[in-house]
Amino acid sequence: MRGILLLFCVSLFAYSCSTLGLGSKQAVKSGKAPTKVKPYDKIIGKEAVSSSGLFDVHQVGDKYYFEIPDSILNREILVVTRFIKTPAGAGNYGGEEIGDKTIVLEKGPQNKIFLRISTLVSAADENDAIAQAVNNSSVTPILEAFEIKAVNEDKQSSLIEVTSFVNSDNSLLALSPAQKNAYKLTSLEKDKSFIKEINSFPINTEIRTVKTYKSKSVSKKDKRALPAAALSGVVTLELNNSFILLPKEPMKKRIYDPRVGYFASSYLEYGDDQQQVNQNIYIHRWRLEPRDEDRAKWEKGELVTPKKPIVFYLDPATPKKWRPYLIKGINDWQEAFEQAGFKDAIIGKEWPENDPSMSLEDSRFSVLRYFASSAKNAYGPNITDPRSGEILESHIGWYHNVMTLVHNWYMIQAGAVDERARKMRFDTDLMGELIRFVCAHEVGHTLGLRHNMAASHATPVEKLRDENWLKKYGHSSSIMDYARFNYVAQPEDSIAPEYLRPRIGDYDRWAIQWGYSGFAETYSETEEKELLNAMVTDSIRGNQRLWFGGEGRDFDPRSQSEDLGDHAVIASNYGIMNLQRIVPYLTQWTKERQSDDYTNLDLIYKDLIKQYDNYLFHVVKNIGGIYVTPKTMGEEGEVYLPVPKSVQKEALVFLDNHIFHEPDWLLPNDILNNIQSPRSKEAVTRSMESVMLNLLGGSRLSRMTFITERYRDIDTYRPEEYLDDLHFLVWGEMNVFYQANTYRRKLQKAYVDNLIALYKPKKAKGAISGILSKLSEDFTSNTDVRSLALDQLIQLQGEIKGTIPVITHRMTKAHLRYLEKEIEEVIGEVWETDDFIPPYNPDISIKSNGKN
In this structure, the answer to whether residues 299 and 238 fall within a common structural domain is: no
The dihedral built from the CA positions of residue 752, 753, 757 and 763, taken in this order, carries a sign that is positive
In this structure, the answer to whether residues 330 and 236 fall within a common structural domain is: no
In this structure, the answer to whether residues 532 and 592 fall within a common structural domain is: yes
Q: Is 200 helix (H, G, I), strand (E, B) or coil?
A: strand
In this structure, the answer to whether residues 160 and 296 fall within a common structural domain is: no
Confidence at 457, pLDDT banded by 50, 70, 90 = very high
Of the three residues 185, 220, 245, the one that is the final residue of a domain is: 245
In this structure, the answer to whether residues 561 and 697 fall within a common structural domain is: no
In this structure, the answer to whether residues 826 and 709 fall within a common structural domain is: yes
For the chain, what percent of residues have pLDDT higher than 90?
68
Residue 809 lies in a domain: yes
Say what the pLDDT of residue 830 is.
60
In this structure, the answer to whether residues 799 and 696 fall within a common structural domain is: yes
Say what the pLDDT of residue 766 is.
62
- What is the count of structural domains for the chain? 3
Say what the pLDDT of residue 148 is.
96
Residue 729 lies in a domain: yes
- Average pLDDT score over the chain: 87
This prediction's pTM: 0.87
Residue 652 lies in a domain: no
Residue 152 lies in a domain: yes
| Model pLDDT for residues 717-768, shown as the tens digit of each residue | 999 999 999 999 999 888 767 899 999 999 999 999 999 999 988 766 665 5
* Angle between helix 785-803 and helix 698-710 axes, rounded to 10 deg: 120
Amino acid at 409: W
| Cα(102)–Cα(768) distance, integer angstroms | 45
| Cα(272)–Cα(716) distance, integer angstroms | 48
Of the three residues 614, 635, 651, the one that is the final residue of a domain is: 614
Print the domain residue range for 807: 680-846
| Model pLDDT for residues 333-373, shown as the tens digit of each residue | 999 999 999 999 999 999 998 887 788 878 789 999 999 88
In this structure, the answer to whether residues 241 and 305 fall within a common structural domain is: no
The three-point CA angle 470-472-476 to 5° equals 55
Q: Is 833's pLDDT higher than 70?
A: no
In this structure, the answer to whether residues 241 and 297 fall within a common structural domain is: no
Confidence at 315, pLDDT banded by 50, 70, 90 = very high
In this structure, the answer to whether residues 321 and 187 fall within a common structural domain is: no
User: Percentages helix, strand, coil for the chain, rounded to the nearest 5?
Assistant: 40, 20, 40
Residue 572 lies in a domain: yes
In this structure, the answer to whether residues 524 and 466 fall within a common structural domain is: yes
CB 488 within 8 A of CB 575: yes
Residue 826 lies in a domain: yes
Within 8 A by CB and 6+ apart from 390, the residues are 247, 250, 251, 284, 285, 286, 287, 384
In this structure, the answer to whether residues 608 and 694 fall within a common structural domain is: no
Within 8 A by CB and 6+ apart from 316, the residues are 350, 351, 353
| Model pLDDT for residues 572-583, shown as the tens digit of each residue | 999 999 999 999
Residues 627-636, mean pLDDT to the nearest whole number: 87
Q: Is 93 helix (H, G, I), strand (E, B) or coil?
A: coil
CB atoms within 10 A of CB 97: 15
Say what the pLDDT of residue 216 is.
81
Q: Is 2's pLDDT higher than 70?
A: no
| Model pLDDT for residues 582-604, shown as the tens digit of each residue | 999 999 999 999 999 999 999 99
Residue 226 lies in a domain: yes
Confidence at 7, pLDDT banded by 50, 70, 90 = very low
Of the three residues 596, 614, 632, the one that is the final residue of a domain is: 614
Say what the pLDDT of residue 28 is.
38
Say what the pLDDT of residue 767 is.
58
Taking the CA atoms of residue 571, residue 573, residue 574 and residue 576 in that order, the dihedral angle to the nearest 10 degrees is 120
Residue 642 lies in a domain: no
Residues 176-194, mean pLDDT to the nearest whole number: 89
| Cα(811)–Cα(803) distance, integer angstroms | 14
> Of the given ranges (2-16, 545-559, 687-701), which has the lowest mean pLDDT?
2-16
